[in-house]
Amino acid sequence: MNGKKCKSENTDMKKTPLEDFKKNKNKKIQNIIIIFSNIIPCVIVIFFLVYKNSFENKSPEKDKEIENLKKQLNYVIQKKTELQSNIQIQNIKDIINVYINKGTALSTKERVNNKLYGLIPSAVETLEQQVTRCLEQVRSMSSDLEKYIYLSNLRNNNLTLFYRLLMDNFEELVPIIYTPTVGEACVKFSHIYNPANRDGLYISIKDKGNVLKILDNWPYEDPDITVITDGSRILGLGDLGVNGMGIPIGKLSLYIGAAGINPIRTLPITLDIGTNNPKHLEDPMYIGLRQNRPEDPEFFEFLDEVMEALSKKWPNLIIQHEDFSGAHAFSLLDRYKNKYSMFNDDIQGTGAVILSGLINAFRKTDIPLKNHRILFLGAGSAGVGVAKQIRDHFVKAGNMTIEEARDHFWLVDTKGLVTFDRGDKLAQHKTIFARKDNNGQQFKDLKSTLEYVKPTCLIGLSTQGGIFTPDIIKRMAELNKNPIIFPLSNPLKNSECTYESAMQNSGSRVLFASGSMFPPYTDPVTQMVYYPGQGNNMYVFPGIGLGAILSQVSIISDDMIYTSSVALANTLTDEEKSAGLLYPRLRRIREVSTKVAAEIMK
């Protein structure tokens, strides 16, 4: 707003759009720059010819003429630079408008003062009216991807309206802006990308050595938090390269919606270091680098520069790593967690939220902690990260040593039960839970391992949809009065089983949580309606981020992550407990995030 006062609305309304257009300074500046851009080459040519001629006919008069031409040339270049700077300032103002834009909620006076009168329909609406219209439009769309694209464009044009719509309809819209729909959006990101949208920073490995200069181009000051990915392991969809930008955007939307963090102080970043996925390299619409990913030395050198530049540019910035490959995620966390205020949501956030659900599940089974046996299908970064969090709970709550706690875990990967003597070289992170008490026995699949372990709890992070078959679920129900089954793989198609299958094959006795939301289940005999738990990281990472921002911590410690788990588990209300829920209802997400933040700040 320019702050100009008008004598009356009627007087200002007499101004025609044509008059305002003619007075548009920005348009004039653009025209002048075009003229200067055409003049400068001519001046340079003239200068060159005169300068060349001076060697042939040197004289004091010629020297004076050359000096005058130099001054004129410098003046023209200076003026062009100043005018381009004015254009840049105006463009930055245009960018910032998304944070103050109110659309049809602008008053008549605001429209006149900002030269918007006539560019917006006459009605002056309330925010509630706008939300009603947007929700009607969302619900009229036939596919979730269409809804995602619509909401993405709304977010890039009117943040106030977007987040009001999200907060008023959180449970309905979260599956659209994040999992499971964000998975499809990432796969098709290059095809649905809108060049008019400014979603975040894309930092290419080609910019190595100049990352700090790239950060200088971010038009807003002092972001509080960034979510950063290299797109190498997006959900359970593999290497998507630059298409992974949908994840930082979605995560930060949840930080804003669930924890109330200021949108202008969030920064989505995708590191474009290429992709090893030939599908994307051959896609003519792919918007990232068309090259394979670098070897580790170059990769880590680039990441070191990125982390150092972020910390130097914004010393209080909270950095969340997201969807890095299993081969790099643990190494990056170990490399940076004691140097920067950072955490890895796939490893620590997933572990924290699953531990929280398990704490409440353990309470319902009445089985002592020392008698629980945890079987994991999936031994990647997410699986091992979750297992470490649960192990730490056994240590703290069960008064065990790390070695004693570790003996309560068995991990299965694509080759079977992870043991030290099965004949293959184990990745470093798998050695944390590899078994050495198997007496030479090797178990090649889930079914045989389940019979060997007889677990009280079965957790899936394998991305193998449907691998928890009816027979597996029935066997878990035979072994346990209330079997704990957590199929956590995303998106929905990769979930190890459905809630319906888990309920049908356990006699409705299962304690269940999944990575993506399943619909409720109605028992055909009793007609009782049961609601599944969703072990979604949004229950903890907004609170972790909010607490870290408010306390301006130098590092995010393991104790802070563990505290977030216990804090979340303790947020269940009596009504939620009586309903058999393992996690609080999503409509309480702001309250939950605040409580988690408060606990980790202590």
> What is the per-residue pLDDT for 62?
60
- Mean per-residue pLDDT, 29-37: 48
Q: Which two tokens stand for residue 293?
A: 């990913």
Lowest-confidence region among 245-249, 379-383, 423-427, 478-482? 379-383
Render pLDDT for 220-279 as a digit per residue (tens, 0 to 9): 879 999 999 999 998 878 999 999 999 999 999 999 999 999 999 999 999 999 999 999
pLDDT-derived band at 350 (thresholds 50, 70, 90) equals confident
Q: What is the pLDDT of residue 121?
A: 94
82 has a pLDDT exceeding 60: no
Give the three-class secondary structure for 471: helix
pLDDT of residue 385: 84
Nearest 5°: phi and psi at 101? -65, 130
* Residue 437 exposed, middle or buried by CB count within 10 Å (0-12, 13-18, 19+): exposed
Distance, in Å, from the CA atom of 10 to the CA atom of 25, rounded to the nearest integer, reads 24
Alpha-carbon separation of residue 111 from 108, 120, 159, 258, 373 (angstroms): 5, 8, 18, 32, 65
> CA 54 → CA 40, 59, 141, 413, 477, distances in Å?
21, 8, 72, 79, 97
User: Which pLDDT band, with edges at 50, 70 and 90, does 94 fall under?
Assistant: very low
Structure confidence at residue 66 as a pLDDT band (50, 70, 90): low
What pLDDT is recorded for position 493?
Answer: 87
Residue with tokens 């306390």: 551
Cβ(462)–Cβ(378) below 8 Å? yes
Indicate the pairing of strand 484-487 with strand 457-460.
Answer: parallel
Complete DSSP assignment for 353-378: HHHHHHHHHHHHHT--GGG--EEEE-
| Percent of the chain at pLDDT exceeding 90 | 70
Instruction: Verify cis geometry, omega within 30 degrees of 0, for the bond prior to 180.
Output: yes
Q: Which of 181-185, 247-251, 335-339, 425-429 has the lowest mean pLDDT?
A: 425-429
**Residue range 345-360: mean pLDDT, rounded:** 93
Which tokens is 253 given?
């939307």
Q: So what's the pLDDT on residue 7?
A: 36
The number of beta carbons lying within 10 Å of the beta carbon of residue 4 is 9
Mean local confidence (pLDDT), 551-570: 96
Three-state DSSP class for 304? helix
Select from 187, 165, 188 the least CA-distant residue to 256: 165
Instruction: Determine the distance from the C-alpha atom of residue 309 to the mean position of all C-alpha atoms in its chain, rounded to a whole number.
Output: 20
**Predicted confidence band at 116 (pLDDT cuts at 50, 70, 90)?**
confident
Report whether 550 contacts 597 (CB < 8 A).
yes
24 pLDDT above the threshold of 60: no
- What's the pLDDT score for residue 597? 97
Q: What integer best gives the mean pLDDT of the chain?
A: 87
**Distance (Å, whole) CA 344 – CA 382:** 10
pLDDT of residue 28: 47
- Per-residue pLDDT band for 598 (boundaries 50, 70, 90) equals very high
> Measured between alpha carbons, how far is 485 from 532 in angstroms, rounded to an integer?
11
Higher pLDDT, 197 or 502: 502
* Least trusted range by pLDDT, from 31-45, 260-274, 405-419: 31-45
Euclidean distance between CA atoms 362 and 369, whole angstroms: 7
Q: What is the pLDDT of residue 102?
A: 86
Q: Peptide bond preceding 524: is omega within 30 degrees of 0, i.e. cis?
A: no
The total number of residues shown for the chain amounts to 602
Which of 43-52, 55-64, 304-313 is most confident? 304-313
Tally helices (H) and strands (E) across the chain: 26, 14
CB 500 within 8 A of CB 521: yes
The answer on pLDDT for 155 being more than 70 is yes
- CA atoms within 13 A of residue 337's CA, in its CB half-sphere: 18
* Distance separating alpha carbons of residues 235 and 407, to the nearest angstrom: 29
Reported confidence tier of residue 96, pLDDT bands at 50, 70, 90 = very low
Contact status, residue 545 vs residue 320, Cβ threshold 8 Å = yes
Least confident span in 81-85, 163-167, 170-174: 81-85
Residue 61: per-residue pLDDT: 67
DSSP string, 240-259: -GGGGGHHHHHHHHHHHHHH
Q: Report the range of poorest mean pLDDT among 69-73, 405-409, 510-514.
A: 69-73
Phi/psi for 265 (5° steps) reads: -110, 30
- What does the pLDDT read at residue 247? 96
* Tens-place pLDDT, residues 209-222: 999 999 999 988 79
Distance CA 358, CA 562 (A): 13
Task: Scan for tokens 């449970």, then name that residue.
Answer: 171
Q: Which residues are known catalytic residues?
A: 178, 251
State yes or no: pLDDT of 69 exceeds 80: no
Name the one residue in this structure whose structure tokens are 């090259």.
291
Do residues 54 and 63 make contact, with C-beta atoms less than 8 angstroms apart? yes
For range 301-324, the mean pLDDT: 97
The DSSP code sequence of 536-549 is: -GGGTHHHHHHHHH
pLDDT band (50, 70, 90) for residue 482:
very high
